[in-house]
Amino acid sequence: MKNLWPKIFPALYGFIIYGTLRVVNDTMGKGFKFWERPLYINVIEFVTVIIVGYIFTYIISVQERKYFSDDASELTLKRASKELLGVIGVALLVVYCTIIPMAAVTDDGLSLSDLVQITIIPTLYIVLYFAIRRGNFYIQAFVQSKLKLQQIENDRLNSELNFLKEQFSPHFLFNGLNNIYFQMDQSVPEAKKSVEKLSELLRYSLYQDQQKLVDISKEIEFIQLYAEVHKVRKDDDLELRVDLKKISGKIYPHLLIPLVENAFKYVEGKKPFIEMKLKKESGYVVFTVLNSKRAMKTDDLTRSGIGLNNLRRRLDLLYHQNYDLVILDREHTFEVVLKLPIQ
C-alpha cells in the first residue's frame, strides 16, 4: 500500500479538484446538472483534471528537489516567497494550458465566472498541497535537529562522565597502593592478600559503565572490600562501624565510595572511628558516613581537586536535582549524608 499510494494519490488529487469545481459551478448555476450532459464531456473533464493532478504533484516534487535541503535554517522570507510564487506561476500556466481550454470547448463555453473559479480553485489546492509538504519537511527537519542536539548532549555528558571516572580511578589506585606499601613493612603475606583485593576493586571500578545502573548489593560489596583494604594501614585502634542494610534496587555506580574514601583519608582523633550506614527511606537509599577528626577544620574534599567536587558534578549529570548531599563539618567529626533515588 505504501508503494501504491504515490501512484494513485495524483489521480485522487485531481478528482478532488474536479469535484470542488463541479460543486461550486453547479450550486452557482440555475439547476445545471452535469450528469445529464453527454458522457464524453464528463469523461474529457475528468481525465483532464486527473492529468492536471499528476502535473501538479510532479511540479511539487521538482520544487522539493530544487529548494528543499537538510539545512532548515536556510529558509528566509525572501526564499519562501520565491518558492511560493514559483509554484503559483507554474500552477497558473498548467491551468491556462489545460483546464481553461477544456472548459472553453465544453457546455456553453467559458464564462467569466468559469474563468475565475478555474483560476482560483486549482491554484489554491496546489498552494495548500505545497504548504503541507513544506510544513512536513520542516517538522521532520526540526525533529532531526532536536535528535542530533540530544545526541551531541549525550555524547558530551558521556565524555564528561568518563573524564571524571579517569580522575577517580588513578586517585583510588594511588590510595590503595599507598596502603599496601605501608602494609608490606608489617606482613608481606597480608600485603599480597591486599593486592588481590585491590585488583578486584580496580576491576569493578574500571569496567563499570558510568551511565548504567547497578544493583545496590554490588556497591555494598565494593564498599566492604574497600574498607578491608584500607583499614590495614590505619592504627589498630581504629573503630570501624559498618551497618549496610540489604536493599533491593539499582543506582548509578561509584557514587558512594568517594564518601568512604574521604573518611579513611581524614579520620583522626584520640579515639578514631569511621561509621557507615546504608538504609532505605521512601524510595531512596540513604548513605551516611561519619568519621572522627582533629579539632580543626578538615581540608575536606570540597576544596581538593578530586572528591566531592567531582561527586557533585557526577550527581548533577546523572540525577539532575533529584538527589540530596549534606555535609556536616563539626569540631570533632565530619559527616556526609547522600540520598539517591532507587530505580
Examine the pLDDT at 339 and tell me if it is beyond 60: yes
Q: Which has the closest alpha carbon to 57: 4, 131, 130?
A: 130
Residue corresponding to grid cell 599507598: 178
Domain ranges of the chain: 5-150, 186-341
What's the pLDDT band for 211 if we cut at 50, 70, 90?
low
> Cell numbers at residue 307, please?
572528591
Separation between Cα atoms, residue 333 and residue 330, nearest integer Å: 5
Separation between Cα atoms, residue 179 and residue 195, nearest integer Å: 10
Separation between Cα atoms, residue 261 and residue 128, nearest integer Å: 67
What's the pLDDT band for 335 if we cut at 50, 70, 90?
very high
> Cell numbers at residue 336, please?
556526609
> Cell numbers at residue 71, please?
539545512
CATH assignment of 186-341?
A: 3.30.565.10
Q: Which residues pair with 329 in a beta bridge?
A: 334
Examine the pLDDT at 34 and tell me if it is beyond 70: no
pLDDT higher for 273 or 21? 273
The helix or strand, by DSSP H or E, that contains position 289, with its residue range, turns out to be strand 284-292
Q: Are 100 and 115 in contact (CB under 8 A)?
A: yes
Is 327 strand, coil or helix? Answer: strand
Most confident of 20-29, 228-237, 259-268, 309-318: 259-268
Residue 91 carries which side chain, given as an amino acid letter? A
Examine the pLDDT at 113 and tell me if it is beyond 80: no
Q: Which has the closest alpha carbon to 260: 239, 285, 289, 286?
A: 289
Average pLDDT of the residues of the chain: 76
> What pTM value is reported for the model?
0.50
> Cell numbers at residue 241, please?
562501624
Examine the pLDDT at 66 and tell me if it is beyond 80: no
pLDDT in tens, 78-107: 777 777 888 888 888 888 888 888 777 776
pLDDT in tens, 238-260: 888 999 988 899 998 888 988 98
What's the pLDDT band for 32 if we cut at 50, 70, 90?
low
- Rounded to the nearest 5°, which phi and psi values hold at 84? -65, -45
**What angle, rounded to 10 degrees, do the helices at 39-67 and 112-184 form?**
40
Write down the pLDDT at residue 278. 94
Write down the pLDDT at residue 280. 92
pLDDT in tens, 250-302: 998 888 988 988 888 888 888 899 999 999 998 999 999 999 987 655 444 44
Most confident of 3-7, 244-248, 310-314: 244-248
pLDDT higher for 176 or 18? 18
Q: Are 35 and 42 in contact (CB under 8 A)?
A: yes
Q: Which residues pair with 326 in a beta bridge?
A: 337
pLDDT in tens, 130-172: 888 777 877 877 787 777 777 766 666 666 555 555 555 555 6
Taken in order 169, 170, 175, 177, the sign of the CA dihedral is positive
pLDDT higher for 117 or 156? 117
User: 239-244 and 273-281: which strand pairing?
Assistant: parallel
What's the pLDDT band for 323 if we cut at 50, 70, 90?
very high
Three-state secondary structure string covering 206-256: HHCCCCCCEEHHHHHHHHHHHHHHHHCCCCCCCEEEEEECCCCCEECCCCC
Write down the pLDDT at residue 75. 63
